[in-house]
Structure 1
Amino acid sequence: MRYLTAGESHGPQLTTILEGFPAGMPLLAEDINEGLARRQKGHGRGRRMQIEKDTAEIVSGVRHGQTLGSPIALVVKNNDWKHWTNIMGAEPLNEGQEDEIKRKITRARPGHADLNGAIKYGHRDMRNVLERSSARETTVRVAAGAVAKKLLSLVGVDVVAHVVEIGGVTANVDSSLSIDELKERAELSPVRVADPNVEVEMMDAIDNAKKNGDSIGGVVEVIVTGMPSGIGSYVHYDRKLDAKLAGAIVSINAFKGVEFGIGFEAARKPGSEVHDEIAWNEEKGYYRKTNRLGGFEGGMTTGMPIVVRGVMKPIPTLYKPLMSVDIETKEPFAASVERSDSCAVPAAAVVAEHVIAWELANSLVEQFYSDRFDTFMDEIKRQREYAREF
């Protein structure tokens, strides 16, 4: 499977085209829009979330509620476009009109793609960079991932994300919670945390950052249950599924690190406290007594829950801006300020959930016959039975 996204933050719409889904898979717009609505929630979000009420329109690849096997095109329109038609329009400017276009950006914002992107593509107005590098693009990445989540749910795979840390405030999540209980708690929380004891403290940290014109980051965790064992490969580096998941996480705007299971803690433990002992019984087949490696061995799934975490840096757009340089005058100035959030970690958890879902769905489609959804499901069922009886 593959997908492309197109669109600018303040352009008329965001578009994504998805290819590789089996024919005959049930899919409705509401399957996608639930994820888009969740992405817009979260304590610390900015005013943009009040302007945009994101919904996706399916414009190809689905007929009467089922996929056709052809490319699926999704469109999310930007309601704010009406205020940006002159600034972001596709038509050439008339003579002298360029001076009338406001919001030209020549002061690069530290931590953003502004300066590097301007150097790479030769843009003197860095709006040409920030409009595409904006996290607004994750809207249609969530839409694409929502279609993947639908496929996963139909073959018994559940994907849930929650927040485990914001601004140094760390959650202590009850390990006995089922994935459904974890999801329920996270969905009810304004900061998407499953530990009610730290919810207010996290919200206070976000509010204090906003009051000070600052921003804070955090850590999100994605848990996946139901993935068959042996998905991925040890044969080639670029077919290792955990590597693909790691790449998906750090591809999200502002994410700077990723770990599986106990992650970096493994560096401080002996091997006897890191690796997971193997057991077997008639009901489960093979399983691990612990899950410290987060559901992966040798680049392949073990059948245990996949546990992957990503760290998000504080958003670099600050209302107390850092110093930078004007690329026209080379003089020092306070960096430009665009509308922004003080903390987007709860929303980023939803994005992480969906980019992980995409990679998992893609791995299944690659490994099993997937032209038809009914035969695709049958093959996965047979793989589970085979692994249990092996």
Structure 2
Amino acid sequence: MLRFLTAGESHGKALVAILEGVPAGLTIDFDAVTNELRRRQTGYGRGRRMAIESDRAEALSGIRHGETTGAPIALMIPNKDWENWQRTMYVEAEMPATASGADRPPVTRPRPGHADLAGFVKYGHEDMRNVLERASARETAARVAVGAIARQLVRCVGTEIVSHVVSIGSASIADPLALTFEDVRAISMDTPLHCSDANVEQRMMAEIDRARDAGDTMGGSFEVIAHDVPPGLGTYVQWDRKLDGRLAQALMSIPAIKAVGIGRGPAVADVPGSRVHDEILPDTDRARDEPMPIKRPTNNAGGLEGGVTNGEDLRVTAYMKPISTLMNPLRSVDLATMTESPATVERSDVCA
């Protein structure tokens, strides 16, 4: 079983990830890891931080001569912006004489929607910088590096993974399930939002522009499709090993994700079962002794039934709330004085 941990703060020295469970003998394409990190930084509506960082993962262990050894893989992604934050984020008891960057005041005005207040209550930090630095979506760079290696592993069994943006604000493609794996794979990496429909993409960009002009932010949704997934992954026999539950937990742990849908997702609650469940038909184009000599004319289940993959494309959609840092901040309370005050403003994206 694959398992990973991450460590590091948004403006600390580096992000670190440890991935265990990768078998020995997997050849690692480091350029592919870098390309995934670069892709993470693209997208219309991203902030200035993306222009500062040129993320590259350095392998510290678990890989020798380009191949995995079976030991835990340790990865490190240096934060270039650390140079500008040393006087705020130094780890020593006393500030080093060589520390660079600006002196920044404590964060005492929590942002509605962020972990600031909840972290203050749980850990008792007087300076919520300790909360927001770890709760920052910067942490996802470490996840992307880990995921890039996992992606190379699943290719060993022929599984390919693609993704695309489904909606931003009120701008949305009409029917994501009408798009095939090949349709999504054909989307150019040079598109501003990696959307399948150029007209919808223009409307998405207009939503972001309006939010930026108003000092506001926008959320949206994206779909991930895994193709040629072996049937039988997951199980129905125990709640904690059902694959749909495990996928939902993984996606919900990404900052700002508030909901997850499998296949047709929440829309299945609005229509009768005769229009939801995917019929099972014999596949006369395949030999009867082949595995799963059947076909499904639809895939509303998104490749999962009873917590187990059924051989169809695995399709998962995640729904992201608007980013909680607003340039036109909402009302909050300064916890140092217990007086009403605008929420803290940090450098941030308009839309992620």
TM-score range normalised by the length of the shorter chain: over 0.9
Which of 290, 294, 297 is 2:298 aligned to? 290
**2:239 is equivalent to residue 237 of structure 1:** yes
Tell me how far apart the structure 2 counterparts of residues 9 and 63 of structure 1 sit (CA, whole Å). 29
The one-letter amino acid paired with 2:52 is: I
Cα displacement (A) at 1:177: 5.3
Name the residue aligned to 2:105: 103
1:1-390 maps to which residues of 2 (within 5 A)? 1-93=2-94, 101-172=103-174, 178-185=180-187, 187-281=189-283, 282-283=286-287, 285-344=293-352
Cα displacement (A) at 1:322: 0.3
Contact 2:166–2:176 (8 Å) recurs in 1: no
The one-letter amino acid paired with 1:127 is: R
Tell me how far apart the structure 1 counterparts of residues 346 and 275 of structure 2 sit (CA, whole Å). 47
Tell me how far apart the structure 1 counterparts of residues 178 and 125 of structure 2 sit (CA, whole Å). 53
The one-letter amino acid paired with 1:93 is: E
Tell me how far apart the structure 2 counterparts of residues 174 and 244 of structure 1 sit (CA, whole Å). 22
Cα displacement (A) at 1:173: 6.0
- With 317-326 and 188-197 compared, the bigger mean Cα shift is at 188-197
TM-score (structure 1 length as normaliser) = 0.84
Tell me how far apart the structure 2 counterparts of residues 52 and 172 of structure 1 sit (CA, whole Å). 35
SS in 1 for 2:341: strand
The one-letter amino acid paired with 1:63 is: R
Cα displacement (A) at 1:278: 1.1
Cα displacement (A) at 1:297: 0.7
The one-letter amino acid paired with 2:8 is: G
Tell me how far apart the structure 2 counterparts of residues 176 and 85 of structure 1 sit (CA, whole Å). 50
- With 282-291 and 249-258 compared, the bigger mean Cα shift is at 282-291
Cα displacement (A) at 1:67: 0.6
Tell me how far apart the structure 2 counterparts of residues 246 and 126 of structure 1 sit (CA, whole Å). 29
Tell me how far apart the structure 2 counterparts of residues 126 and 38 of structure 1 sit (CA, whole Å). 30
Contact 2:177–2:264 (8 Å) recurs in 1: no
User: Which structure carries more relative contact order (alpha carbon 8 Å, separation 6+)?
Assistant: 1
Tell me how far apart the structure 2 counterparts of residues 162 and 128 of structure 1 sit (CA, whole Å). 33
Tell me how far apart the structure 2 counterparts of residues 160 and 275 of structure 1 sit (CA, whole Å). 24
Q: Percent identity?
A: 50
Contact 2:9–2:133 (8 Å) recurs in 1: yes
Contact 1:167–1:218 (8 Å) recurs in 2: yes
Contact 1:173–1:194 (8 Å) recurs in 2: no
SS in 2 for 1:26: coil
The one-letter amino acid paired with 2:181 is: I
Contact 2:177–2:263 (8 Å) recurs in 1: no
Please give the per-residue CA displacement for 1:1-31, whole angstroms capped at 9, x wherever unaligned: 1111000000000000111101001103212
1:243/1:186 CA distance change after superposition, 3 Å: farther
The one-letter amino acid paired with 2:226 is: V
Q: Which runs of 5+ in 1 are unaligned?
A: 95-99, 345-390
CA RMSD of aligned residues (A): 1.7
Tell me how far apart the structure 2 counterparts of residues 198 and 141 of structure 1 sit (CA, whole Å). 29
Contact 1:261–1:291 (8 Å) recurs in 2: yes
TM-score (structure 2 length as normaliser) = 0.93
Tell me how far apart the structure 2 counterparts of residues 186 and 167 of structure 1 sit (CA, whole Å). 22
Cα displacement (A) at 1:176: 6.5
How many residues of Structure 1 are paired with residues of Structure 2 in the alignment?
340
Q: Which runs of 5+ in 2 are unaligned?
A: 96-101
Tell me how far apart the structure 2 counterparts of residues 263 and 208 of structure 1 sit (CA, whole Å). 29
Cα displacement (A) at 1:101: 4.4
Moved over 3 A (4+): 172-178
Please give the per-residue CA displacement for 1:24-83, whole angstroms capped at 9, x wherever unaligned: 011032121111000000000000000001111111111111110011111100001011
The one-letter amino acid paired with 2:274 is: S
SS in 2 for 1:185: coil
1:86/1:303 CA distance change after superposition, 3 Å: same
Cα displacement (A) at 1:289: 2.3
Cα displacement (A) at 1:197: 1.7
The one-letter amino acid paired with 1:289 is: P
